[in-house]
Structure formats: C-alpha cells, structure tokens
Structure 1
C-alpha cells in the first residue's frame, strides 16, 4: 500500500485561482470577439440592404417589401431571428454609423497613403445591445459621448440605458460643476447625511431649483422656507 500524498492547502489554492483566472480571461476574450463579430456582421448586412435599395426604387413601400421578402428567405434558410423589425434595426444601424465609419476610413487612407483599414470592426468596441440604445440617440455629439464613456467606464447595457434616460450629456452641457455630474453618473446619488436627501433631483425639482448645479445649505434652506410660505398662503 502506497502512502497518501499530502498536498499543501495554500499551494493548491494558489494553483486553483490561477487556473480559474486564466479560464475567466479566455472566456471574456471569446465573448468580446463574438460581440464585435456580431456588430461587424450586422453593419455589413445593413450596408448590403441599403445598397440594394438604392439600386432600385426609392419609395418607402419598396424598401418595406424588400425587407419582408428578405426576412422570409433568411428565416427559411437560417431559422428564426430574422424578423422584419429586426432587419429594420440592422438597416438603421448602418444608416446611423455608415457615414461615420466611411469618414474614419477616409482619414486613415489620407494618413497611410491610400492604405486604409479593411475592417470597420476596429471602430466598434461595444455589444449589439449597446448599439441598439446608441443608434436611437439623434444628436451625434451626444451619441459619441455616450459611446466613449460606455467603453471607458465599461457600462453594462442597463447602465448605459440609465445614463441616456437621465440625460447625462445634456446635464453635463448645462452644468457648471461637470465633475460632480460625472461623479453622480459613476456612483449614483449617495445619501450619507440628512442634507443629501433634499439634494435629490426630485426634491430640487419640487423646490423649483435645477438639479444640474451645486447649492449651498443656506440657499437650500431659503428655498424650502419660500416653498413652505407659498404652500401656507395657498392654503
């Protein structure tokens, strides 16, 4: 009978953590690659659709008929997931980002003596779900801001949706304290002391104050007193 081999608990734990970390990193790289490949593919599908439409009639009815027929054929060949509304989203994605990508490539051509990047996916760094939110933003400057911040801050789809819904870009454009607005965007509204409660945007709106600026305690106090006086007078 051989002796049982005794392993050092710390050593095996260190090995375990290294393997887990390696596998986790590999999965993240694969997921990122898949996300970018998905966006890249849909960008070019949208490009094909728009170019096909431009060769034919320009009426909206024609484009609708094209997408419906394409949806039917793709579903028959590739299975579910190619509905008419979905193809409309893909088409819209190219219409929003097509000019931007083409202009970026033109700049690269000028910089590299007509040697341009052959893959626009180098411009896309987010998932398709992120771009579904971004392409609904009409202001190009606002869209660019959210896209950059989303990549740098690694916002999830839910976080991006919340920041767009809270008009972060517009609040930054109006605010005199941009650092504070960005802190709120990253951390949210933290209630650490009683005075923080009355600085809540909803409370400020009730007091008739703009939530895009910083206020002193005395100014907040005066606003509350004035609001109470007005309320008592109305009673």
Structure 2
C-alpha cells in the first residue's frame, strides 16, 4: 500500500467497509463451524469403526475367553505407541461399547460429539441411555 492511501475511509464510506468486514468475518465463522462439524463426523466414524473392528475380531476368535481380557489392554499399548494419546484401555472399551450400542452406523447422530456419546455410554441401563440420547 502506498503512503497516499493511509485511511480507507477517505475513499470508501465506513458503512460499506464495515459491511465488507462483516461478510469476511461471517465467511470465516461459517468455515470454522463446518470444519469442526467435519472433524466431529470423522472422529465419531473412526471411534465407531474401531469398536466394530474390535467386536468383529473378538467374534472370530476360537478361544475368546483366553484372549478377550488381554485384547483391549494389548491394543491400548500398541495403538498408543503408534498413534499417541486417545487409545487408553478405557477409551477402547467405550469405542467397543459405542459400536455395540449403535450397531447401525447411520443411527449415530453427528449433532453429538464423542464427549456426548462417552457420557451416554456410561449408562448401565440401555433404556436410560436411549432416553438421554433422545433428550440430547
């Protein structure tokens, strides 16, 4: 920008400039919201599919009783080494439960976050969980 044009208000009315700022600000707010929604959708899908993979692996096991209690612990250690945080034994148990409670992926509402589902999955009673799911 040259020294001749130091103040935009000398050329453009303030109201027009304010409208431009508002439009750009709104654009970036909407983009950020869509990005957050996309990330949430992908995280929910990954958590659901992780649970699905665990359940499918368990169901194919011939001697499930022998390895079942060790599977989640071993997965937690190995996935944490490979992927970092987020793969604790507790999280994997909840991912497994997520799949078992919502076996049809299309029934998962992307209006809720993983934190919402995590709280819902703490319910021991499936009717109680469904009640809170409907309320949410």
Q: TM-score range by the shorter chain?
A: 0.7 to 0.9
Q: Residue 41 of structure 1 is aligned with which of 15, 35, 46?
A: 46
Matches within 5 A, 1:13-162: 13-56=18-61, 57-59=63-65, 62-98=67-103, 101=104, 120=105, 123-125=108-110, 126-150=112-136
Task: Compute the displacement of 1:123 (Å).
Answer: 3.5
Asked if 1 retains the 8 angstrom alpha-carbon contact of 2:72 and 2:92, the reply is yes
Q: Give the match's secondary structure for 2:64.
A: coil
List alignment gaps of at least 5 residues for structure 1: 102-119, 151-235
Q: 1:28 to 1:141 in 2, by over 3 A?
A: same
TM-score under structure 2 length normalisation: 0.80
By how many angstroms is 1:2 displaced? 4.8
Q: Tell me the TM-score normalised to structure 1 length.
A: 0.49
Q: Distance in 1 between the 2:120 and 2:84 partners?
A: 27
Does 1:11 find its partner at 2:16?
yes
Rounded to whole Å, the distance in 1 between the matches of 2:60 and 2:113 is 31
Shift of 1:140: 4.1
Deviation for aligned residue 1:38 = 0.4
Distance 1:132 1:77 in 2: 23
Contact kept, 8 Å, 1:40 with 1:121, in 2: the verdict is no
Distance 1:48 1:77 in 2: 17
Name which structure has the greater RCO, CA cutoff 8 Å, separation 6+.
Answer: 2
Q: Which sections of structure 2, spanning at least 5 residues, go unmatched?
A: none
**Equivalences, count:** 129
Q: CA deviation at 1:135?
A: 1.9
Q: Do the aligned residues in 1 keep the contact of 2:102 with 2:108 (CA within 8 Å)?
A: no
Contact 1:39 1:124 (8 Å CA) reproduced? no
Distance 1:148 1:26 in 2: 28
Q: Which has the larger radius of gyration?
A: 1
- Measure the CA separation in 2 of the matches of 1:97 and 1:122: 7
Query: How far 1:122 moved relative to its partner?
Result: 6.7
